[in-house]
Amino acid sequence: MKTILITGAAGDVGTHLRRELAGKYLIRASDLRDLKEKFKGQKFMRADISKFADALRITRGVDAIVHLGGYSVEGPWQGILSANIVGCYNVFEAARRNGVKRILFPTSNHAVGYYRRDRTIDHRVYPRPDSRYGVSKVFGEALGSLYADKYGMQVFCMRIGNVNPAPIDKRRLSIWFSPRDLAQLVTIGIEHPEVRFEIVYGVSGNTRSWYDNSNAARLGYRPMDDSEVFAREVLAREKPGADARTEQYQGGAFVVAEEVPNPAPLPGTRRRKK
């Protein structure tokens, strides 16, 4: 049985994934925080991936890595820098030094969140991040491409929508990713013999999808779920967003989210009068 390292294993996506993969792989679950839910046969290793020594320690002797660790929403730049940029670099570099060939990088819909909702995009579009968090995901995709080309690593980037047992609002009807579809796509990322560098969308087979997920289909992904069965109930409770941009762009509220809501002016500068 393969040993799989999951970083960020205590988070929501990590917990869904560990539940779905329990018994299928030997899971090494790593996080800064304690695991709230534990599953049989999964070993916990506490680590701070912004420290290279920790990244080296947790990546030793595994067959593949699912690198979920880091900030999962917009946040202060220093936090994103250390967890998502430095942390991501550390995991790739530690994997290379430990001879781990395969990395699954859960990037995000927010790497392309500035595409409008009336467009269908595929894995070849130019990134259009909607936040500093989105930029950090584009960084991870670029790093994966470098490590695939330069070091022959096998890198599987999943631009994840929203993992939940059910879609929670109108935007999520388009990007919902059920836990069992997540497990199917991750299994393809771990097992497919021809992965070199791939970008796929981590979403279920949603009728309202904004994505052409043909690259995932080419690799054998056959989603079992479609958010449409929840549409009536979700739309009935939907309230219009306060800012029209959140309805125009795929990234929703991330296009208006600020790392610091009202930054103080720099010394020697003044706020412009309206």
- Which residues contact ligand 15L by CB under 6 A? 72-73, 108-110, 162, 172
Half-sphere exposure of 53 (CA within 13 A, CB side): 0
DSSP annotation of 271 reads: P
User: Shortest distance, CB of residue 111 to ligand 15L, whole angstroms?
Assistant: 9
3-state DSSP assignment of residue 192? coil
Beta bridge partners of 106: 158
Nearer to ligand 15L, 72 or 206 (CB): 72
Nearer to ligand 15L, 50 or 250 (CB): 250
Collect all residues with Cβ–Cβ distance below 8 Å to 68 and sequence separation of at least 6.
Answer: 6, 7, 8, 9, 11, 13, 14, 17, 106
Q: For residue 211, which of 139, 131, 107, 136 has the smallest C-alpha distance?
A: 107
- Annotation marks residue 151 as catalytic: no
Under a CB-based contact definition with an 8 Å cutoff, are residues 219 and 242 in contact? Answer: no
Residue with tokens 């690799």: 219
Q: Pick the catalytic residue from 89, 114, 115, 133.
A: 133
User: Shortest distance, CB of residue 210 to ligand 15L, whole angstroms?
Assistant: 12
Nearer to ligand 15L, 28 or 110 (CB): 110
User: Shortest distance, CB of residue 110 to ligand 15L, whole angstroms?
Assistant: 5
How far is Cα 51 from Cα 126, in angstroms, rounded to an integer?
31
User: Shortest distance, CB of residue 206 to ligand 15L, whole angstroms?
Assistant: 13
Nearer to ligand 15L, 53 or 73 (CB): 73
Residues labelled as active-site residues: 133
